[in-house]
Structure 1
Amino acid sequence: MSVSTQPARPLYRTPSIFRDFPHLVAAESTRHGGVSPAPFDSLNLGLNTDDTPENVAENRRRFWQALSIDPTRVAASYQIHGNEVLTVCQPGDYQGFDALITCTPGIALAVTIADCTPVLIYDSARKAIGAIHAGWRGTVGGIVAKTVAQMSREFGTDPTDCFAYIGTCIDECSFEVGDEVAEHFSEQHKYFNQRAGKFYVDLKKANYDQLKGAGLADSNIQLSLHSTALDVADYFSHRLEKGKTGRMLACISMVENG
């Protein structure tokens, strides 16, 4: 299991787990480098916020341009905090899916995040990719394991050939939950804080264990060192900022003819 480090205040960060694959573009945006005013300052990429559409459009233009990705080749879905996986053959806007997979070069898969866990997967043998939005409900619903299984069915993916990045999300010490949420998580993915009288859940560990359980090697999984709640100067946190904030994107794409 590796970890990521990059210079402070970039427009996006690139997972180092994918650095040996030059035909692969993978990134996770920060909140820097955009035009949106507070409380969406500044690189708000979320379409469903109270920010102006003009600001979001300009922010998205800057993000995709920085990655040399054609925005007309992006596939994304209106996420519902579920565990449905869509096999994508064409770019476009979809509805009701929290994970997207494809084996088509040139399509960029993107998920929107602001505390939930983004997971990016690359099958280095079959040349297939996946992008996952794992909220607590999706995590409980096994969305990461379900995505790997669907890649295996659709593309013949062998999990031992896969590399994965578990991205920036709310950290264990900040994700306080009630009993009605905690009861869905196993003991190794939560702890009870006696002083607060509340459970705290580790989404990164829960999704990491799903990847391991699906067959990925420990050395092929990278965990972000960052936290949306602890590093709110660099990332948007829906919980910490009480819903008045922007959204990030995590994306992955295979370059055509790469």
Structure 2
Amino acid sequence: MEQDELRRHDGNAPFITPGTFGRGGDILALQSTRHGGLSPDPWNSLNLGENTLDDPRRVRENMLILAKAAGFDASRTVGSLQVHGTEVLHAREPGHHSGYDAFITDTENLWLCIFTADCLPVLIYDPEQRAIGAAHAGWQGTAAGIVGKTLHAMGEAFGSRPESCEAWIGTGISGDDYEVGAEVAAAAAFPEKCSMPGAEGKRLLDLGAANRMQLLQAGVDEERIERAPYCSFRDEGMFFSYRRDNGRTGRMAAVIGIRPVSRRP
């Protein structure tokens, strides 16, 4: 999918949306930016991370602001305290969990949320079975193949076939800015093509390329995979970055849901 199909929405709570997914209006998918919220420095301003030192009341209000701007029901969200693992939850009702780094559902008006500040969100849509998935893919989740496990879970639960799915790799830290130790880059999930030499024996790891490769290996068609063209580290004016800001920063949310019939265009 061409990157110029990614559209940025400017308003009270800017967010970006993939060019793919449900062109008939069945699906709403987006990733928030850092603008339009209530949080002060260092979380300014649309911080959606409950695992930060920001006031939880502001975080909840920020989600309401985003939901109103984007057109989803904030009371129907599914989230988790993410642990960089590969546990996948089949979500059937809203709620906040712990220990899950991926969700799947075929329930309408249920909004799967992945929270990031350098890790990649990967959103998946199966138009045949009208099912969706969302995964939190940092280096650990990527090394453990979380996107493949999410697709497998969708197959088990809904009969989803990877070749029928569409996938969006959202904004995270880019390969040009993500320096890691050689032992991380040497993980089996990261072949030579996913990393470049860095300083003093380190490597520059391209998580986007690694997740794209894993989607292809799982059977998703190349033309059905889209990558966001931004970098959380480099594009400071738009996104939070845990690495750039030394951990004192907010979180974006990547959200995907199946619109209820009454809310479709």
Range into which the TM-score falls when normalised by the shorter chain = over 0.9
- Any gaps of 5 or more consecutive residues in structure 2? none
- Any gaps of 5 or more consecutive residues in structure 1? none
Give the C-alpha shift of residue 2 in structure 1: 2.3
Q: What letter corresponds to residue 195 of structure 2 in structure 1?
A: K
SS in 1 for 2:78: strand
Matched, 1:34 2:61: no
Give the C-alpha shift of residue 9 in structure 1: 5.5
Q: What letter corresponds to residue 181 of structure 2 in structure 1?
A: G
Contact 1:139-1:207 at 8 Å conserved across structures? yes
Q: 1:165 matched to which residue of 2?
A: 168
CA RMSD of aligned residues (A): 1.4
The structure 1 residue matched to 2:197, chosen from 189, 192, 199, is 192
Q: 1:220 matched to which residue of 2?
A: 224
Q: Number of paired residues? A: 257
Give the C-alpha shift of residue 240 in structure 1: 0.5
The structure 2 residue matched to 1:132, chosen from 117, 131, 135, is 135
Q: Give percent identity, aligned residues only.
A: 42
Q: 1:110 matched to which residue of 2?
A: 113
Mapped partners of 2:92, 2:47: distance in 1: 27
Q: 2:209 matched to which residue of 1?
A: 205
Mapped partners of 1:169, 1:229: distance in 2: 8
The structure 1 residue matched to 2:28, chosen from 21, 25, 28, is 25
Matched, 1:84 2:87: yes
Q: What letter corresponds to residue 7 of structure 2 in structure 1?
A: Q
Q: 1:234 matched to which residue of 2?
A: 238
Deviates more, 1:178-187 or 1:144-153: 178-187
Give the C-alpha shift of residue 19 in structure 1: 5.5
The structure 1 residue matched to 2:68, chosen from 52, 65, 83, is 65
Contact 1:25-1:255 at 8 Å conserved across structures? yes
TM-score (norm 1): 0.95
Give the C-alpha shift of residue 190 in structure 1: 1.2
Q: What letter corresponds to residue 212 of structure 2 in structure 1?
A: Y
Contact 1:9-1:234 at 8 Å conserved across structures? no
